[in-house]
A and B are shown apart, each in its own frame.
Chain A
C-alpha cells in the first residue's frame, strides 16, 4: 500500500484565482493520477501525472486549465486555474503500486469551494 498526503485538505477560493494542490506519497510509485469528484457525483479522471514529462489528459480536460507537475516519483501538483464556481469539487490524488492487482490508493482529497 501507500500513504498519500494532500494539501490543502479544503479551501475557499475566489472566482478567477488559481490554487495548487500538492500530493506527497511515502514511497516511490510509478503511476500517479488526479481525479475530480463533483458534488454528489462519482470520480472522473483528469489526467495521469508522468514523471519528467507532460501529463496525459483525459477528454474534456486541458493543460491550460489543470496544469500538472511531477518532478519525481513521490510528489505531484495539480493547479486549478482561473477558477469558477463550476470547479467546486473534491480533487483526489491516487497512486498505483507495482505488483498489485490494479487497485489504486487515494489521498484524503482536497475540497475546493469557489465563490
Chain B
C-alpha cells in the first residue's frame, strides 16, 4: 500500500536558519502530494501542494518540489521564524479520496 516517510524530529533551528524537512513516498501511479502544518493546540492546515511531477508548491515562504525520480517532496524554507514552530506533515492522495500521512516532524525555532 501507499506510505509516506518523514525525517524524525524534533528539528531545532535558530531564527533565520535554512529549513529542510525530508519526505519520501511509496505509491503506485501518480499521487498528489501535500504538506500540512499543525500549530500548537490547533487542527491541520494545508500549507502547499503539488499534483504532478516537477510541480513546485509554495506558500508563506515554504517550497516543495514533486520529484518523481526520487519519490520525494522535501519541504524547504530559506529563513525560518519563531512563528513557524509547529508540526509538519507530509501526505499523499493516490487517486482515492483519503490522505495517507507521514509521521510528522516537529519544528522548534529559537529566537
Contacts and interface: CB of A to CB of B under 8 A. Distances in A.
Contacts of B44: 43, 92, 94, 106
A92 B43 contact: yes
Given A43-B89, A92-B43, A33 B49 contact: no
Interface residues of A, number: 19
Nearest to B48: A103
Contact of A45 (B31, B32, B98): B98
* Most chain B beta carbons < 10 A, residue from A92, A104, A108: A104
* Most chain B beta carbons < 10 A, residue from A101, A102, A105, A108: A102
A94 B98 CA distance: 9
Nearest to A110: B43
Q: How large is the interface on B (under 10, 10 to 19, 20 to 34, 35 or more residues)?
A: 20 to 34
A42 B43 contact: no
B1 to A, nearest CB: 10
Given A103-B46, A105-B46, A42 B104 contact: yes
6 contacts: A42-B89, A43-B101, A96-B97, A102-B49, A106-B36, A109-B42
Interface of B: 31-32, 34, 36, 42-46, 49, 51, 89, 93, 97-99, 101-104
